[in-house]
Every structure is written in C-alpha cells, then in structure tokens.
Structure 1
C-alpha cells in the first residue's frame, strides 16, 4: 500500500534519515521506534509531504509521491497528527474538526460568493462528517466546548477526529499518547485498535514501549537515521542491536 525505497533526508551535512526501506502492513498497526533524535519524526515528515526527500522514493499504490506537497498527499488518503497538537484553542471542538472534510469537497470561490446549492450541500456533508468522527472518538458530548477548556487527552482525540474527517486510508500518528497518564494511554490505544478494525492502516511513533509491544503488529527501529531492525514485537524485543541502541547511548541524528 505504502512503501519507502532508500529514503534519505539530509539537512546540510546532517543525514537525518538514511536509505530507509519500509512498507506498511495494510489495515494493521505499524510502529516506528528508536532513541530520541533517531530520525523518526523526520521520516514521518518526508512520507507525509512536509519535507521532500534528498533521495529515494515514497511509493503509494504503485505511484511515486515523493515530490507531492502535504496537501496533495492528504488528498490521496494519507493523514497525520503531530506530537504537539495543532488546534484552534479559541474555537469549539466541532469547528476544529468540520474543516477536515473540506479536503473532499469541490466547491470554489464562486460557489462561496453566490452560496450555491453545491456549496450548501457540501457544507452539510462536512458537518455530518464532523459529528460522525467525533462520535467515533468519543467526543459527542464535547462538540460545543472550546478547545482551550478540554483536557490534553481530549485534545488528542480531537486531533484523531480531524485526521479521520479527511477519510484517510492511512493515518500517521506522531507520539499520540505523549503527555497523558497511563489510563488515558490505554483508552487511546483502544481507539487506535478501533480505527484499525475499520480498515484504516496506522503507523505511529511512540516512546511508551509497553504500549507499543501490545499494540503494534509490525515495528521498525531507527537509530542515527538508519533502519537497524524490523519485525514483530517479539522479534524486536530480542534483537541485540535494538537493545544496544537503547542501552548503549542516544542517537544524534
């Protein structure tokens, strides 16, 4: 479904991602782990179109999408969240999510000026989609609350809902449980499993190893920007190079 071939991203003399080959397991929960600074978020940024690769390819459904900007990548069905939630704090939960489905609409400036039938129909569809995904993530009772007044865990759910509103086939989650407690982490894990059960392919970056080992079906390990291991949780748990990477010092790339 999506794979990278010799994917490399270099910033001046710093090679943040180097020759990474990786493929996502369709409809499953995939994970990318590694020490701090190992190149995980950079890898996400290249795959999602925020950065262009220095070399190598990102292939989606047989098509090279390496040079596409983030908005075009999103239109193909690839959504993502960020480690730090980027939401409109002084807007409602509903208003933050309703914009997500705009990606799937066709109305233009003239439709907006003349308030055409197409525009009104698409606005209604966006509202319906927002309510649908907010129900899916468990926020039906919070639609009218201001984002600034909800908890960090609820903000994570809003970010999930916004990604889901784009009707994605793949969702990249950058440290989705950062900054929340163990009970909230378990609840978000259940939400990710629920997404996978709906046929959505998930790839996440996480530092909470206990959660990853229970949740992910396939794991890639990065260190100094390079892939050092790939496999099932059990295979990763017993990989000597992975153990060395975590216990023998931190990465610098």
Structure 2
C-alpha cells in the first residue's frame, strides 16, 4: 500500500530522515520505533504532506505523494493523528468530528450564502459520519459533552474518530497510547485491531515497547534519521544493532 524509496529530509546540514526505504503492506499494523530525535515524526510529516521531502519517493497505491498538499493526501485516503490533538475545547465532541468529513463534501461558499440543498445534504452526511465514527470508537455516550470535559483516554479515541471521519484507508497514529494507563492502552490496542479488521492499514509511532511487540506485524527502527532494522517483532527484538541503539538488554530479554 505504501512504498517509500530513498526518502530524505534535510534541514540545512542536518538529515532528519536519511535515505530511508521501506514498504508497508495493506491491512497490517506497522510500527516505527526509535529513540527521541530519531526522525519518526518527521517521517510521518513527509508522508502526510506537512513538509516536502528533500529527496525520495513516497508512493501510495501507485501514486507519488511527494510535494502534494496535506488535504490532497487526505482525500486520497491517508489520515493522521498527532501526539497532542488540537480540538475545539468549547465545542461538543460531535461538533468536533463533523469537521473531519468536510473534505468529502462538495458545497462551497456560494452554497453557504444561499443555504443550498447541497449544503444541507452535506451537513447531514457529516453529522451522520461523525455519529458513525463515535460509535466505532466506543464514545457514542459522550457526543454531547464538551471537549474540555473529556479525559485523556477519551481524547485519544476522539483523535481516532476524527481520522476515521475522513474515510481513510491508511491511518498514521503518532503515539496513540501516550499518557494513558495500561488498562486504557489495552482498550486502544483493541481499537487498532478493530480498524485493521475493517480494512484500514495502520502505521504507528509508539514508545511503549510491550504494546508494539504484541500488536505489530512489522517494525521499522530509526536512529539518527536512518533505518537500522526492519522485520517482525521477534526479529527486531533480537537484532544486536537495535539492542545497542535503543532497546537495551533488559527490554530485549523481557
């Protein structure tokens, strides 16, 4: 589904991502791990169109994404969450999610000015999609609640729902379990499996190694912007290069 070839991003003399090549298959859970500053979030930014690559090819379902805008990439079916999702605190959960499906609608400024039938139909579809994604992530009961009154774990699920509202085929999750307890992490793991069961390919960045080793089909390890290992959890866990650079002996033996 996603093929990365010789991807490089330089900031002056610093290569945040350096000559990375990798392929992600459809309907899998792919993980990117590495120490802080390894280039993981920059890698996501390049795929999602937040910044252009210096060199390389980002091919999604046969189409090169390099240089495309984030909204164009989202329309092609790539959604992304962030470590900290910025939501409208004084709006309801449901109203926040209505925004997500707007990129699939056709109404424009003129439709708003005349309150056209197309605008009304689009608004109805967006509200229905928001309710559908809320149900999917298990939060139908808090659709009326203001974002300011939600917990950290609920915000994580809302971020999932916001991504799902765009009708994606590939979702990039940036530290989806950051800041939640072990029980809540297990619930998010179940949600990620549910997404894959519904035909969505997942690629995630995460520091919780026990979680990654349990759920990932494939792991990519970055260090100083370079790919130092790739494989199944078992292969990566026993790779001497990874143990030295990131996992450490205790984690590898756990």
Name the structure 2 match of 1:196. 196
Please give the residue correspondences for 1:65-214 in structure 2 after superposition, counting only pairs within 5 Å: 65-214=65-214
Contact 1:25 1:218 (C-alpha < 8 Å) held by counterparts: no
1:44 aligns to what? 44
Partner residue of 2:252?
none
Aligned-pair CA distance for 1:247: 5.5
Distance in 2 of aligned mates of 1:181 and 1:243? 26
Query: Residue 251 of structure 1 aligns with which residue?
Result: none
Offset at 1:188? Answer: 0.4
TM-score (norm 2): 0.96
Tell me the equivalent position of 1:235: 235
Give, in whole Å, the separation in 2 of the partners of 1:133 and 1:63. Answer: 27
Give the structure, 1 or 2, with the largest relative contact order (CA under 8 Å, sep 6 or more): 1
What is the rounded CA distance, in whole Å, between the counterparts of 1:62 and 1:247 in structure 2?
34
Q: For residues 20 and 99 of structure 1, what CA distance do their matches in structure 2 show?
A: 34
The 1-side partners of 2:64 and 2:25 are apart by 18
TM-score with structure 1 length normalisation? Answer: 0.96
- Could you tell me which runs of 5 or more consecutive residues in structure 1 were left unpaired when the two chains were aligned: 249-253
Alpha-carbon distance between aligned partners in 2 of 1:107 and 1:224, rounded to the nearest angstrom: 45
Residue 223 of structure 1 aligns with which residue? 223
Give the distance between the partners of 2:69 and 2:245, measured in 1 at CA: 33
**In 1, Cα distance between equivalents of 2:42 and 2:201:** 20
Match of 2:21, SS? Answer: strand
Instruction: Tell me how far 1:238 sits from its aligned partner.
Output: 0.6
2:26 corresponds to which residue?
26
**SS in structure 2 opposite 1:199?**
coil
- Secondary structure of 1:244's aligned partner: helix
- Give the SS at the match of 2:190: helix
In 1, Cα distance between equivalents of 2:168 and 2:156 = 17
Q: How far is the alpha carbon of 1:136 from its aligned partner?
A: 0.3
Instruction: Figure out how many residues of one structure are paired with residues of the other and give that number.
Output: 248
Displacement over 4 Å in runs of 4+:
none
Distance 1:222 1:247 in 2: 12
Cα displacement (A) at 1:88: 1.1
* SS of aligned partner of 1:204: strand
Unpaired runs of 5+ residues, structure 2, are 249-254
Q: Whole-Å Cα distance in 2 between the matches of residues 72 and 85 of structure 1?
A: 20
Q: What is the rounded CA distance, in whole Å, between the counterparts of 1:138 and 1:247 in structure 2?
A: 33
